A and B are shown apart, each in its own frame.
Chain A
């Protein structure tokens, strides 16, 4: 590991190259560059998740921590790790202070691995407008996590508002296993689904997306039944035209699969660590159309997939905004 204090972007590029050389062949193949946008206190958490994801997709990991944007003195500190504790990834933790934090791209751009996709992941409250963050604009894929917002469902609606192809949200990733179970129930039946009921806490973003997905796929309007007893999405029930009913109910790490006329069955339904979710996201680097139609159905804004994929940077200076407000 190399630590560089009060350094420059060029020094970081040189140090990374030197580390790669001295590490020998460890990190010669890179599938992508992953930019993780985090706050100082969550750097370790992001590293842990990225290590799991990097085991599946060797990448260059750039962890960007921005703070003190109002300070007049700009400063860059960097930590460089190749191999070792971060698994097959090569990583740079970049801490930017002062005005430099508003121009993080000037440090990040020369560090992007040549000609491989760039993925930006906000391990924090998602930005309201991705266009305001240049780190989102250089990325081919953008991963937000609406569950970290104070009002996750509102945050998801904002994602629909702000959507561009290539965006996804980890709340969507969290329901892949659910969706798999629900979809597999229809591999063996031709029954038309006439209604759906989702039991979940009111502010649960995964339930909202599940509803959006079922609505978009089946042309129904799922009913959201709020619960206060369960902290997470509890069950999904689908009613068929012939009166049959299919229900998936989650308990800790298992799902109870019940269907009219058949014995109940228990299936594993484990909660995955963020790293596994991130790894699933990195599998596909093209826009996720199914997500966009589910998100569109949730927010009532259809045809999200027709939006232009390229965003144009919109300059926004938080310091100016704050001084204007005061």
Chain B
């Protein structure tokens, strides 16, 4: 009897001890079930509105991101073009530019009058190109002279590896020894850029390109 009473007391104690645990488990289980229910069978109208709206927003974000990618692509192209011009200028200078007949400089003043949209960079560069090839020329382009002057500017303290020791190279970008052609052009453009804001953007482009490429290599 005593034994039976002892057993019943032990059982009662166990029930008392296990009750909170069981309740906790029941509570969490119902929470999970509720969450599951929420995702599995929400109010139909609410979901449709949210999804449409979210979808539109998501697509707009995707478009914005694609447009930004495109802007970066164009920026890279501009840098490549700049490099090409500089290379052509250097080659022309070495070969004795200025012996050729003049001409070919592009006017920008008249485009301004014509209200050309977004063509300024282009026209300026044509002036550069003409100036680079010819050295001089009876061109109406004021930019020609400016570009010649810029072409004539010597890069600061260039080392044998082409590194500019002007303190503009961020510590995290490495020494660029393993750069491919695109990375090298981005790096050089960033090092030569005078505008600090644009320079930082170029370094960002360089990082994005280089570390993106490295990631691809390791994945491949």
Q: Do A and B bind each other?
A: no
List chain A positions with a Cβ less than 8 A from chain B: none
List chain B positions with a Cβ less than 8 A from chain A: none
